[in-house]
Amino acid sequence: MEKEKLKQIIADVENTAKKAGLFIAEEAKKFSVSKVEYKDVNNVVSYVDKEAEKMIVASLSELLPSAGFITEEGTADTDDLDALNWIIDPLDGTANFIHGVPNYSVSLALAKGKEVLLGVIYHIPADEMYTAIKGNGAFCNGAEIRVAASKKLGESLLATGFPYYKFDHMEDYLQILESLMQKTHGLRRFGSAAIDLAYVAKGHFDGFYEYNLNSWDMAAGVLLVQEAGGKVTDFKGADNFLFGGDVVAGNAVHAELLDEINRFWN
């Protein structure tokens, strides 16, 4: 899709994210933990996720009728991952939302195969709108953002996510965590991969890594990092992150971070 067409629709995508975010913010005022459902062990969902996704799918279907959908809650899904698809997480950080932790977001992306063309992340409690179009830079509330200037892992602040299922790599993960604790300014776990990646793009974090992710967790965020001057790979240093499940994103410390991960990852 041409950049000019993406520029024409991004304001509508932002509006879609904002409307869903306002709905989520209103629901947060009256939400009860009794309304939580379990998709799997430790994998929670609420009616808020589902209703927000329906709103988003309806809006984006009108905006770009030719595009398919890859959605977390299954409102509309495609079998063709190589096609032009919207990749949607209506509420990234559901556990935070449920427990009243103000760190959750709406994440919307448009991709052609594994190439992300457009990304929008709305950090709801902070009222921060992150946007990117491939080849056109990354922005937060309209101001251009860039990755941090740190050059060395020893100068970095990193973010990661803790696995809540598929614990077969726990020993590797904990070894990586232990090593990075001793070689960086610290690690943070905020509970929304979309926001973590947005914070790498904005320069708050120097790097982010996580495994057991889905495409909707990272699609918009990886484009933000790339357009803000950062680098994104999978754990092998290749480009199979969007549908591969693991991601390493960062500024100039990316190579050191990737090397450290691969000292322990099997």
User: Each residue of 222-232: pLDDT tens digit?
Assistant: 999 999 999 99
Q: What would you report as the CA-atom Rg of the chain, rounded to the nearest whole angstrom?
A: 17
- Superfamily of the domain at 3-144: Fructose-1,6-Bisphosphatase, subunit A, domain 1 (3.30.540.10)
Which range (76-80, 200-204, 252-256) has the least confidence?
76-80
- Position 49 scores a pLDDT of 86
| Confidence class for position 41, pLDDT limits 50, 70, 90 | very low
Helix (H) or strand (E) holding 63: helix 47-63
Cβ proximity of 258 and 241 under 8 Å: no
DSSP 142: T
Q: Which residues of 33-62 are buried (b: 16+ CB within 10 A; e: fewer)?
A: eeeeeeeeeeebbbebbbbbbbbbbebbee
Q: Measuring CA to CA, which residue among 106, 132, 115 is closest to residue 25?
A: 106
- Position 120 scores a pLDDT of 98
- Give every CB contact of residue 146 below 8 A, 6+ residues apart in sequence: 138, 201, 203, 228, 229
**Given a cut of 60, is residue 150 above it in pLDDT?**
yes
Q: Rounded to an integer, what distance in angstroms lies between the CA atom of residue 97 and that of residue 207? A: 24
The three-point CA angle 121-204-110 to 5° equals 25
- Position 38 scores a pLDDT of 63
Rounded percentage of the chain residues whose pLDDT exceeds 90: 80
**Given a cut of 60, is residue 108 above it in pLDDT?**
yes
Q: Measuring CA to CA, which residue among 75, 107, 102, 74 is closest to residue 88?
A: 107
Q: Rounded to an integer, what distance in angstroms lies between the CA atom of residue 255 and that of residue 170? A: 23
Q: What is the mean pLDDT of residues 156-168?
A: 87
Topology of the domain covering 153-262 = D-Maltodextrin-Binding Protein; domain 2 (3.40.190)
The three-point CA angle 42-44-47 to 5° equals 170
- Position 34 scores a pLDDT of 61
| Confidence class for position 139, pLDDT limits 50, 70, 90 | very high
Q: What is the mean pLDDT of residues 99-122?
A: 96
The domain segmentation of the chain, as residue ranges, is 3-144, 153-262
| Position with higher pLDDT, 48 vs 118 | 118
pTM: predicted TM-score of the whole model, two decimal places: 0.94
**Given a cut of 90, is residue 53 above it in pLDDT?**
yes
DSSP 148: -
Residues in the chain: 266
Q: What is the mean pLDDT of residues 121-125?
A: 98
